[in-house]
Structure 1
Amino acid sequence: MNFCSDNTAGVSPEILDALAKANVDTAMPYGADALTKKVEQRFNDLFECETSVYLVTTGTAANALALGAISPSYGSIYCHKDAHINCDECGAPEFYTSGAKLVTLPGPNGKLHQGEVEAALSATDDAVHHTQPAAISISQASEAGTVYGPGEIHHLSHVAKEYGLYLHMDGARFANALNTLGCSPADMTWKAGVDVLSFGSTKNGTMNAEAVVFFNDKIGKSIGYKRKRAGQLQSKMRFIAAQWDAYLENDLWLKNAAHANTMAQKLVKGLEGIAGCELYYPVEANEIFISMPELILQKLESAGYAFYRWHDAHCPVIRLVTSFNTNEKDVDGFIQTALNAQTE
């Protein structure tokens, strides 16, 4: 009954089966195996274009290495103030860019707004005293659980191209966003102007499989060396590739995301009518930010439900996250416990 994060979920059985199958025979190391080559082609098919793919094991590594490939040490990377790269990666992007500066901007519902980015960029100059604009980074879905539509991404990409910047997408919850939008992976990435994607799967059913996907053949030439220096070039790469192969097979990734999103919608619909409960952001993926009376929260915690308190106020805000294996009975139980607490 843990709604703290989709990271608390286990691993899809299909992924575990794939790992067992990959363990049967020997294979060449460091990505020279047949399974890794197969997965690289699967990415091309998925995104309907030629990609350059680098498999890694964590989202932080994917983001840091992607940004390290598109920003010089004296660069500025524009992101939302609540972006994961700013708040939750312990300076990894700055470290792997050798010192690039994260420039944080406000934006409603956890998303960057074209106007804010344009205003920030128009105020810059090329004086040697200042870091120089290099990239824009967006999270899909955002840290507020909201989703950028292809049109919004295109507008930000237009701004990036106007100022000679690259556009990076942190896709830790890429599948959840795609399920909400109902578009193709291509429509949500390179067709909308994304240059590089940190494609996450660990939150959605794999064990430790992330990928850096380049859509722009002008960048990414150095990431192979950076990945090695970061300790992310896996000697037994086939076990990362096996997870991706099973994740993409028969649309497992989309099915997992659809379940997580459906459970989030069921949960929020059950809570919206409770007195004192108020949504902070639209629920567009698998995260819910909602304020609830302290008495109800205490009853839920006493009943064994786990969640994060996001910040304290006169009516505390909590974050609830559903996952690919969230049990519908737990959702029903959470709602009923909250309803019962309201009447006590």
Structure 2
Amino acid sequence: MSGSRTVVRRRHDPESRGFASDNYAGAHPEVIEAVALANGGHQVAYGEDVYTEHLQTVIRSHFGARAQAYPVFSGTGANVVSLQAVTDRWGAVICADTAHIHVDECGAPERVGGLKLLPVPTDDGKLTPELIDREAFGWEDEHRATPQVVSLTQNTELGTVYTPDEVRAICEHAHQLGMVVHMDGARLANAAATLDVPLRAFTNVVGVDILSLGGTKNGMLGGEAVVVLNREAVGRMKHLRKLSMQLASKSRFVSAQLEALFGGDLWLRSARHANAMARRLYEGVREVPGVRVLYAVQANAVFAELPREVSERLQKRYRFYFWDEATGSVRWMCSWDTTEEDVDSFVAALRSEMAN
């Protein structure tokens, strides 16, 4: 068979940097290497491959001997499948009003998952037993969706972090009320790096039942996992994953990435670096007159308030998003590949624009 070889070109500037999202960053070289090593030859499809089998050993080293990982395509997919697995058709999920499942998933948990979200306003993105109680009622009321799950985001959408004791208190309270606890861990590694504790310290050890384990924001090419921590609380995950269109035929390539990230310390190295760059960014911008940092910087995000016209000029030089269009507040994200030079250049540009 004759023909010409496909010409592949780089179509972007590899030196381009921004502070819009940790999703903008490329994949870590160690992850790319793992995907390449998993290539070649044939492996059984749909998760029956040796990489997905070995992934279970990796996941159990972090989350206990009973943990079971189900690789999926995306964070939204992981959340929808997880919540479906622990709710009835009439079930509801209590979450913070800033939770990703509530504000950033286009209604997927409700429209695709077929459940009801019960958002609770918070000051810092974190739930407490007292805040949960605002929606934890009416279990026998057929006119109201039944609260069955509490969903936590670690770290939160506001960049704040739950301590192990805070998660334990929530889990104990939820379990006493007959509910299960889901954790959206899209940035779980960043929380562990901040707390300087193992991943298990604020998940299976303190009572979390099911986990959406993130990887894409921390250096993976693409893919996440649902991790079942409490098998008694969870329904038929295999069927739910397939039904929800989250079962990859070539699962070995998702599993190989997860192994590269969590099989050693890459997850921690990458998260620590992203957090350190956010701290450096915070230290720089807080000294700029007219800039107010809104929340504690505990992971890899900095939220700030500054004149809107300054943000709009700055956006022409660096990509980032307005967090609240009404107030003009912004979010600056750091990633595994953010450099000190990136941060310092951004701070200098901010100073310049504020001076103008």
TM-score, normalisation: structure 2: 0.92
CA distance in 2, matches of 1:312, 1:242: 40
Match in the other structure for 2:284: 270
Identify the range of structure 1 (6-15 vs 17-26) with the bigger mean alpha-carbon deviation.
Answer: 17-26
Larger proportion of helix = 1
1:174 shift after superposition = 0.5
What stretches of structure 1 of length at least 5 have no aligned partner?
A: none
Residue 62 of structure 1 is aligned with which of 54, 73, 78? 78
Residue equivalent to 1:17 = 33
SS of the counterpart of 1:107? Answer: coil
Give secondary structure in 1 for the equivalent of 2:245. coil
Distance 1:41 1:221 in 2: 22
Partner of 2:13: none
Q: CA-to-partner distance for each residue in 1:50-107, whole Å, 9 max, x for gaps?
A: 212111010000000000000111011100111111111122212444x321001011
Distance 2:176 2:107 in 1: 28
Q: Identify the match of residue 321 of structure 1 among 333, 339, 342.
A: 333
Question: Measured at CA, do residues 231 and 120 of structure 1 come closer, stay the same or move farther in structure 2, by a change above 3 Å?
Answer: closer
- Alpha-carbon deviation of 1:247? 0.9
- Give the match's secondary structure for 2:173: helix
Amino acid at match of 2:348: Q
In the other structure, the counterpart of 1:213 is: 227
Give the distance between the partners of 1:69 and 1:298, measured in 2 at CA. Answer: 43
How far is the alpha carbon of 1:172 from its aligned partner? 0.4
**Is contact 1:299–1:338 with CA below 8 Å preserved after alignment?**
no
Of 28-37 and 60-69, more deviation after overlay is shown by 28-37
Q: Does structure 2 conserve the Cα–Cα contact (< 8 Å) formed by 1:299 and 1:337?
A: no
In 1, Cα distance between equivalents of 2:25 and 2:321: 15
1:277–1:290 CA contact under 8 A, matched in 2: yes
Number of aligned residue pairs: 340
Deviation at 1:118, TM superposition (A): 2.0
Structure-2 change in CA distance of 1:29 and 1:298 (3 Å): closer
Correspondent of 1:115 among 130, 133, 149: 130
- Equivalent positions of 1:56-135 (< 5 A) are 56-97=72-113, 99-121=114-136, 123-135=137-149
**Counterpart residue type for residue 128 of structure 2:** H
Structure 1 CA distance for aligned equivalents of residues 314 and 132 of structure 2: 41
The residue identity in structure 1 corresponding to 2:163 is G
Q: Pick one of 320, 331, 335 that aligns with 1:307.
A: 320
How far residue 313 of structure 1 moved from its aligned partner, in angstroms, is 5.3
**Aligned match for 2:236, one of 222, 244, 252:** 222
CA contact (8 A) 2:55 2:69 kept: no
Query: Conserved in 1, the CA contact under 8 Å of 2:63 and 2:229?
Result: no
Listed as ranges, the gaps of 5+ residues in structure 2 are: 1-16
Measured after TM superposition, the shift of residue 299 of structure 1 is: 4.3
Contact preservation (8 Å) 1:118, 1:159: no
Q: The residue matched to 1:161 in structure 2 has which SS?
A: helix
CA RMSD of aligned residues (A): 1.5
Report the Cα distance in structure 1 between the residues aligned to 2:143 and 2:320, rounded to whole angstroms: 45
Q: Could you tell me whether the CA contact under 8 Å between 1:6 and 1:203 is conserved in 2?
A: yes
Distance verdict in 2 for CA 1:295–1:163, change over 3 Å: same
Over 3 Å counting, the alpha-carbon distance change for 1:271 and 1:200 in structure 2 is same
Is it true that 1:292 corresponds to 2:288 in the alignment?
A: no
How far did 1:276 drift? 1.1
Residue 312 (structure 1) shift: 4.0
Q: Deviations over 1:292-318 (max 9, x none)?
A: 23454244234x11110122457x311
Q: Which runs of 4+ in 1 moved over 4 A?
A: none
Report which stretch shifted further, 193-202 or 222-231: 222-231
Equivalent of 2:177, from 138, 159, 163? 163
The amino acid across from 1:320 in the alignment is: W
> 3-state SS of the aligned residue for 2:233?
coil
> 1:339 and 1:193, CA in 2 relative to 1: closer, same or farther beyond 3 A?
same
Residues 187-206 of structure 1 aligned to structure 2 (within 5 Å): 187-206=201-220
How big is each residue's C-alpha offset from its partner over 1:258-282, in whole Å with a ceiling of 9 and x where there is no partner? Answer: 1100000000100001111111111
Q: From 231, 236, 239, give the equivalent of 2:253.
A: 239
CA distance, structure 2, for counterparts of residue 58 and residue 125 of structure 1: 32
Q: Is the CA contact 1:68–1:96 (under 8 Å) kept in the aligned structure 2?
A: no
Please list the CA deviations of residues 148-178 of structure 1 after superposition, one character each: whole Å capped at 9, or x if unmatched.
1111111111111111000000000000011
- How far the C-alpha of 1:207 sits from its partner, in A, is 1.1
Structure 1 CA distance, aligned partners of 2:231 and 2:354? 57
User: Identity rate of aligned residues, in percent?
Assistant: 38
